[in-house]
């Protein structure tokens, strides 16, 4: 079967981690485009509220309370999609959580729990999605991170899990392509995003954590996700800052290490004392039902880099047009400089 993705308004889309940040924005944007939704998270109250919001606005949504670290819960998400809509076309593995603190301070139990959500949640979701999509075709979209390519200090466990997600996703893509199974497998790699991410994270620091700049709006990630639901893409960086970190780590790893050591400890620490360390989403649903995280600095509402990477022909056309205009301007300037000074003065006056 040839790979062909359907328009959003004809799709059923599964979104895990749907009640906060990127997942919440993606759900609302997909609903606005008339997609039918299967919403999943551990927060039953927030799920019901979101499903009711979508349905009240004329959309179609059903919810499934699930912990993606539990394979049976993930299978229930797929079962819910089949029961309500007859199946699904796109599966978005978005659920995730982080830990702030030096690796030597983080308990092994917390390390393992983070991997249950961030890595095993993606594995469970991907394998269930492939079972369903292998005959009908569709899109599998895994949310990695710019930190899938380049680790930073203070969030070592999170970086390790996102490296694992990248390795799993890349291997799965090759295997499906080798078998000519019509599933588009995409890895989305966001830079720092203004979501409640840090509020959900478990914090070992003496102060409240914060995002290192540059920080982007969750809408930028949601737009990339929905684009990839309709258009096969291998991987997508969201935010030029994330691409920059990845490139720096690839081409100059030792220098990047030193820069990270000098900057990333301070950039991830606020000046506010740490609050209750038990208020986090590592083991149970917690934190705000919200799209944004209230970042105090500048939040980029768009990314020219991401738009250019997703629309290379348009970006190339703009570059060619710009080069053409520059050439015309320079050539015109050269002709003018070869003219009689009195003639140039007259032309400029006119």
Side-chain half-sphere of 176: how many Cα atoms within 13 Å? Answer: 28
pLDDT of residue 89: 98
The dihedral of CA 271, 244, 90, 134: what is its sign?
Answer: negative
pLDDT band at 347 (very low <50, low <70, confident <90, very high): very low
To the nearest whole number, what is the mean pLDDT of the chain?
Answer: 91
- Secondary structure of residue 12 in the 3-state scheme: strand
Q: Is 90 exceeded by the pLDDT of residue 342?
A: no
Contacts of 5 (CB under 8 A, 6+ apart): 89, 90, 137, 138, 139, 184, 229, 230, 231, 232
- Burial pattern 321-345, b for ≥16 Cβ within 10 A else e, equals eeeeeeeeeeeeeeeeeeeeeeeee
CA dihedral 129, 131, 137, 139 (to 10 degrees): 20
Asked if 63 contacts 47 with a C-beta cutoff of 8 angstroms, the reply is yes
Q: Which residue has the higher pLDDT, 335 or 59?
A: 59
- Mean of the pLDDT values across residues 297-304? 96
Q: Is 80 exceeded by the pLDDT of residue 324?
A: no
CA 22 from chain center: how many Å?
A: 7
User: Residue 17: which region, alpha, beta or left (left: phi > 0; alpha: psi -120 to 50)?
Assistant: left
What is the Cα–Cα distance from 150 to 263, expressed in whole angstroms?
Answer: 15
What is the Cα–Cα distance from 222 to 21, expressed in whole angstroms?
Answer: 10
pLDDT of residue 340: 52
Q: Is 70 exceeded by the pLDDT of residue 272?
A: yes
Residue 138 bridge partners (DSSP): 183
Q: What is the pLDDT of residues 127-163, one digit of tens each?
A: 999 999 999 999 999 999 999 999 999 999 999 999 9
Which structural domains are found in the chain, ordered by start? 8-310 (3.40.50.720), 320-350 (no CATH)
What single DSSP character describes residue 260? H
User: Which of 100, 158, 204, 295 is an active site residue?
Assistant: 158
Q: What is the pLDDT of residues 37-69, one digit of tens each?
A: 999 999 999 999 999 999 999 999 999 999 999
Q: What is the pLDDT of residues 192-247, one digit of tens each?
A: 999 999 999 999 999 999 999 999 999 999 999 999 999 999 999 999 999 999 99
Share of the chain above pLDDT 70, in %: 89
Residue-wise DSSP of 66-112 = --TTSHHHHHHHHHHHHHHHSS-SEEEE-----EEB-TTTS-HHHHH
Strands 269-273 and 207-209, by their bridges, are antiparallel
pLDDT of residue 113: 98
pTM equals 0.89
- Establish whether 283 is a catalytic residue: no
- Mean of the pLDDT values across residues 304-329? 65
Asked if 158 contacts 147 with a C-beta cutoff of 8 angstroms, the reply is yes
Closest alpha carbon to 238 in 265, 208, 218: 218
Asked if 186 contacts 236 with a C-beta cutoff of 8 angstroms, the reply is yes
Supply 291's token pair: 């799209």
Q: Is 70 exceeded by the pLDDT of residue 84?
A: yes
């Amino acid at each position: 079967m040839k790979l062909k993705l359907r328009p959003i308004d004809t799709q059923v889309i599964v979104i895990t981690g749907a009640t906060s940040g990127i997942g919440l924005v993606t759900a609302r944007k997909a609903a606005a485009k008339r997609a039918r939704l299967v919403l999943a998270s551990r927060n039953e109250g927030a799920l019901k509220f979101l499903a009711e919001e979508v349905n009240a606005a004329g959309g179609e949504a059903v919810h499934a309370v699930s912990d993606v670290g539990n394979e049976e819960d993930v299978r229930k998400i797929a079962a819910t999609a089949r029961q309500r809509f007859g199946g699904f076309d796109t599966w978005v593995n978005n659920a995730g959580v982080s830990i702030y603190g030096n690796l030597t301070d983080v308990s092994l139990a917390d390390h393992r729990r983070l991997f249950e959500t961030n890595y095993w949640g993606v594995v469970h979701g991907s394998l269930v999605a492939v079972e369903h999509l292998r005959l009908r075709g569709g899109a599998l979209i895994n949310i990695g991170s710019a930190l899938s390519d380049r680790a930073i200090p203070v969030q070592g466990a999170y970086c390790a899990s996102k490296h694992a997600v990248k390795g799993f996703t890349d291997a799965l893509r090759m295997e499906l392509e080798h078998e000519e199974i019509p599933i588009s497998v995409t890895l989305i790699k966001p830079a720092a995003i203004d979501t409640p991410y840090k509020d959900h994270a478990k914090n070992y620091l003496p102060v409240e954590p914060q995002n290192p700049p540059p920080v982007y709006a969750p809408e930028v990630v949601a737009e990339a996700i929905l684009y990839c639901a309709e258009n096969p893409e291998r991987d997508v960086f969201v935010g030029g800052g994330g691409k920059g970190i990845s490139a720096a780590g690839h081409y100059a790893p030792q220098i990047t290490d030193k820069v990270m050591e000098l900057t990333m400890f301070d950039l991830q620490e606020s000046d506010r004392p740490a609050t209750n360390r038990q208020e986090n989403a590592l083991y149970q649903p917690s934190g705000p039902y919200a799209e944004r995280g209230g970042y105090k600095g500048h939040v980029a509402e768009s990314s020219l880099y991401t738009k250019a990477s997703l629309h290379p022909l348009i970006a190339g056309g703009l570059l060619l047009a710009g080069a053409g205009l520059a050439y015309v301007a320079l050539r015109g300037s050269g002709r003018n400089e070869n003219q009689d000074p009195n003639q140039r003065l007259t032309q400029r006056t006119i």
